Amino acid sequence: MRFRDNLATKRALIEICEERLALSASLAADVLMELSPWGEIETDLVAPPTPIEADTAAASTQNGVDLDSGNLTDPGQAYDLFSQAEALRTTDNTLTGAGQTIAVIDSGIAWDHTSLGTTLGSGFGPGYRVVGGWDFAENDADPYDDGPAGYHGTHVASIIAGQSESFVGVTPEADIVALRVFDDAGYGQLQWIESALQWVHENQDSFESPITTVNLSVGAALSEANRAQAMDMLEDELALLREDNILVFAAAGNFFESGGSSFDELLYPASSSSVIPVSSIGDDGTLSSFAQRSDGILAANGETIEAAVPDHVFGWDGKVDDLAILSGTSMATPQVAATSMLIRQTLINEGVEPTIDAVLDRLESITQSHIDSTTGLSYSTIDLSLLSTKLPDTDLGPTDGVTEVPMSTFIGTDESDYIQLDLRDGKTLRVGDQVYSLEADAVSSTIVIDVRGGGDSIHIEGSSDSERLILQAQTDGVSRLITGDIEIELRGFEQITFVGGGGFDRASLTDSNGDDTLTSEPSRATLHGVGYKFEVFDVNQIYVTATNGGNDTAFLSDGPGDDVLAVRPQFSSIRGDTTFQLASGFERVYAFAAAGGFDSIEINDSEGDDTLNVTAGRTTFVGPGYHVSANGFESTTANSTLGGNDTAKIYSNGSTAGWQSTPDRVQWNGAEGEVRIARGFERVEAFEDFEPVSLPMQIGTQSINPIPISSADDRDDLTWLGMNPEDEARATRKIFESLGE
């Protein structure tokens, strides 16, 4: 579905196929494109195998969603929030979303669908799953997901709180209010969105359970011409809901693969600072090809999600029990919104006030960071197994204040503990509302924190002194924090977060025996694998080793200054002005230089056969057991000295390139001081405009097409011989014959 908001009109009417503003409840086809005012919309519709009436089929094609009534293949457990939420309920059956209401602002909800029933059955009003709402399109109190265009809101609602024989929503006992902002034909008005947000504010306490969350699987692709006016309509309401302690989640959009104007452009209101945007991943945890990117964005599985649709979608049969498979950031958003409700419930169980900051902090603590290999931007996925579900039943000590007698050993329980260790003013340990004072053993100068079983996490605030952190991911490994003369042993933690306090800190992280992923940038790194996650912030020197097995991947990013990426097989580092990042033992390394400065790469080969490729935007270096890809660096220097049959390919920026060549070196010099150098390689190929070229050999006081030398160091590599032109040409041919040219 494609809509427009004609902001030149008085009511901001949303109509179809207007190129300035696309507002859609069906983001699976919401592609930001340069359209003629009445241009055709391409879709990737998969028609359902059962017959659909002509008007419904047309509406579905217009919406452009992947609509299939077949069975859903179970997605990967590692990123499947449905399965994770189900597993969470087996350990704490209170985590169901009960006691909270979520507002679904969408195309309405088929409230009589069997998957949206309670003990009273399916219906609308108090006691039912859909407890209330409003239809802003028809201005009445029946926000039903009518045909021919409706279905999207029903699908979203059942992802949140649906229950059927084949699927269960993330929060199956949460209440829902349906706020309909699209009419039967799929048209909407931005003004209706504004009214719906105002309605949430005015009615947040009108139901048995308060409204805590809003799901907006809708969005607008704004142009500069209408951005200000659209934001003027909604920003006040979005900010007001945040003040109300109501979290708003919005879909990021699905026009990435269309090559929109900016790969990190989000739909509005996902781009609002008052909203949590959500992108989509597939079963393997990589961002969906259609999903919008933004640095640090949350993402959940939005591909081939099976959930409820109204009866009219596949043809009326009188049984409102149909399910369909849809894909899009629209499907990912309600999963994350529902997850926030579980976190809010967890905090309440722990006796912690569930403020927005508290919910988002806990949400961040159960995420794993990744790097999108296409853009170099980071994104986070959720691991509900890391969620601390409740305070342990065991008495942990006093109920008010700090323990009177400092302890050198803290023993946790077999439950999932969430612990905070604060070293900024003394050494205090907090578990829920319990606070303990720690003091090192007089003999060993050691403090032990042992949490035993469960999915345990610790958040450490470092002191202003220099500290050393050693984190071990092996199941039998013990992590250590050295502060001053004291060593703190950390035993049994699945997740460890350390925030430096201002000293010159150093962190050493070691992988597991499985497949591990490192995401690192100046002063910050995340290492995670199956069952664990380590995070360090504000740390000057970071050393990460991956030698315990598995197929390990590292993503390294530069800082704003001049950085140097040093590469040799399974050993890569980035050095900045005051920071250092090292990734050792990783089979694949992806480095990104996008923060500014003049950044360079220094490469040394292995004893095997290595291959170097250098272009304007990317350098790759591949050999036995390793692969390095570097994007955005200005200069590259590679040395082949250890043996093997090594090959280098250097691509210039154009025919005006400045080339130099000697018996053991080929070099390209750019106009901005950048260089691309290959030394000692058995075979070197040069390209201009991606076409191979033969290079002159600079061997005397003059050369064929003489090229300026960029530095005295380069001059030292030349052999200055007084040859005549014929001798020079003969020597040049001989050199390039040996290179295979």
Q: Could you list the active site residues? A: 106, 152, 330
Beta bridge partners of 110: none
> To which H or E segment does residue 156 belong?
helix 152-161
The answer to whether 547 and 584 are in contact (CB under 8 A) is yes
Angle at 431 between CA 90 and CA 420, to 5 degrees: 110
Report how far residue 325's alpha carbon sits from residue 305's, in angstroms, rounded to the nearest whole number.
Answer: 5
Torsion of CA 6, 12, 17, 20, to 10 degrees: 50
The SS3 assignment for 392 reads coil
Preceding omega of 148 cis (within 30 degrees of 0): yes
DSSP type of residue 727? H
Between CA 438 and CA 429 the distance in angstroms is 7
- The CA distance from 15 to 18, in Å, is 7
Widest CA span of the chain, in angstroms? 100
Q: Mark out the alpha helices in 326-411 (DSSP H runs).
A: 329-349, 356-365
DSSP codes of every residue in 255-321: -GGGT-S-TTPPPBTTTSTTSEEEEEE-TTSSBPTT----TTEEEEE-SSEEEE--TTTT---S---
Q: How big is the CA angle at 67 (ends 124 and 291), to the nearest 5 degrees?
A: 100
If phi > 0 it is left, if psi is from -120 to 50 it is alpha, else beta; for residue 454 that is: left
CA 141 – CA 148 distance, rounded (Å): 20
Kindly report the number of other CB atoms within 10 A of residue 98's CB atom. Answer: 14
Q: Take residue 420 and report the two structure tokens written for it.
A: 């905070």
Task: At 725, give phi and psi (nearest 5°).
Answer: -55, -40
Q: Which two tokens stand for residue 85?
A: 């939420």
Q: What is the dihedral of CA 126, 129, 135, 141, to 10 degrees?
A: -20
Q: Closest Cα to residue 623, out of 675, 664, 663, 571? A: 571
Pull the structure tokens for residue 676. Answer: 């691309």
Gap between the Cα atoms of 245 and 276, Å rounded: 13
**Can you say how many angstroms the Cα of residue 252 is from the centroid of all Cα atoms in its chain?**
12
Strands of 333-466 (E only): list them: 367-371, 378-382, 409-411, 418-422, 428-431, 434-437, 446-450, 457-461
- Residue owning tokens 């259609």: 290
Q: What is d(CA 688, CA 305) in angstroms, rounded to the nearest whole number?
A: 47
Q: Note whether 573 and 566 are within 8 A (CB).
A: yes
Contacts of 197 (CB under 8 A, 6+ apart): 105, 214, 234, 237, 238, 240, 241
